[in-house]
Amino acid sequence: MAKAKPKAKTSRERVFDFIKENDIKFVDLKFMDFPGQWQHLTVPATQLEDSSFENGFGFDASSMRGWKAINESDMLIIPDPETMFFDPFIEIPTISLTCDVYEPSTKEKYTRCPRNIAQKAIAYLQSTGIADTAYFGPEAEFFVFDDVRYDSQPNGCFYQVDSIEGKWNSGREENPNLGYKPRYKEGYFPVPPTDQLMDLRNEMVMNLINCGVEVEAQHHEVASGGQCEIDLRYQPLVKAADQLLMFKYIVKNTARLNNRTVTYMPKPIVGDNGSGMHVHTSFWKNGKPLFAGTGYAGLSEMGLYFIGGLLKHAASLLAFTNPITNSYKRLVPGFEAPVNLAYSQRNRSASIRIPMYSTSPKAKRVEFRCPDPAANPYLAFSAILLAGLDGIVNRIDPGDPLDKDIYDMSPEELKGVPSTPGSLEDALKALAEDHEYLVKGDVFTEDVIQAWIQYKIEKEIRPMALQPHPFEFTMYYDV
């Protein structure tokens, strides 16, 4: 008689086994705040019990940006055992668990918890019967700097970033200066020694892989001064967002161990390319891709309608995919950031591109090129899903593709092509006017939309408007 197969262990059991087998001393509980920063609370491993995955751990939500008032501040974080990874940056053996945020009185997920919004987005997609899975593949670019200094005081403000690779350092005394500085807009992608970050990126990739993140490729990016990209393999929406946060955490900490610093700020350098986060999306059902077909660029009717939804809602969508004032320093004509709302195959000058590397139906996807890595991935991916889904449900025609190099088109030719918003304020105004597609299925509640708009205006737009800019002194001091 054949032996019965042993029962597969649950994710909780695997967590406790890992703690025991690896002599883990601490459990780091990570969760996402409203604007998009990972937060954490650490407990001794002895405090993690099976009941912890139901009862959670308490914390003060009034200290989180955009969340609770002080009179209603008690909240719970409940860890997800599927998200465990060993943290290589903590000296004492520590595992990390990503958490969901709950109301303690009702044990319901908090409506402003970004991860909850992403989970609701997938549940809503599945409820429509259109698809059961939405895959997301983000390409988050970043800069590696050797030094960064900035300050803002009532009587002055400044910033200064530096990199051994920076073309601006070609004449600096470096005892010796060995040259090999990538020229502006020519960092994509010469071999070492011009690419001086090869070993650092490989170390980042190894740390990512060891933490369970699938990596497809790494390379230098276009800008001089340390711009890089590491491509992650596509994953279902919530896992893709989870792993993008792991990616940021691991990349930043690997750089810090090498006495360098990483920023995902979209436009830290004037006159060279900024950092984008091209987002690849596809819908699947019962293991079959739904965006592959016989239409333009090998897309199905569904895939084209998805594009129609993105184009229709792009202005409001950017309030989540390009969510900071600096985002709109990148979204300007003349660089790689696509500001013209059009779609095309292979064409990187369009805001929506259909990659043509492979003829396999499984590889057919839509690439939205506007987003940047400052985005809260749970909110950005959910908004992209809902905009595209609205296009599918309402059969929104995306119009004709634009297969020309848009950067070389005349103003007359571009007259009928809409552009991205010119500022975060414009994107928020668009969101205030166009968010019905986001509240369907109770994914983004009206409270979340209004809280996002209010937070961005009060904490970012107004303070920026009140701050004299150093360049204003260059232009106006002698008036």
Q: Residues with catalytic annotation?
A: 60, 139, 141, 221, 229, 278, 348, 367, 369
Following DSSP, what letter does each residue of 68-125 receive, concatenated?
A: --GGG-EEEEEE-GGG-EE-TT-SS-EEEEEEEEE-TTT-PBPTT-HHHHHHHHHHHH
List, in order, residues 6 or more apart from 236 with CB less than 8 Å away. Answer: 122, 133, 134, 135, 136
Cα–Cα distance for residue pair 124/313, rounded to 1 Å: 18
CA–chain centroid gap for 347, Å, is 22
- Kindly state the tokens that stand for 156: 């002055």
Asked if the peptide bond before residue 377 counts as cis, ω within 30 degrees of 0, the response is no
Which DSSP state fits 46? G
Q: Which residues of 114-125 are buried (b: 16+ CB within 10 A; e: fewer)?
A: bbbbbbbbbebb
What span, in angstroms and rounded, lies between the C-alpha atoms of 432 and 422? 16
Which residue from 74, 119, 79 is spatially nearest to 95, judged by alpha carbons? Answer: 79
Which sign does the torsion angle of CA 34, 35, 36, 42 carry?
A: negative
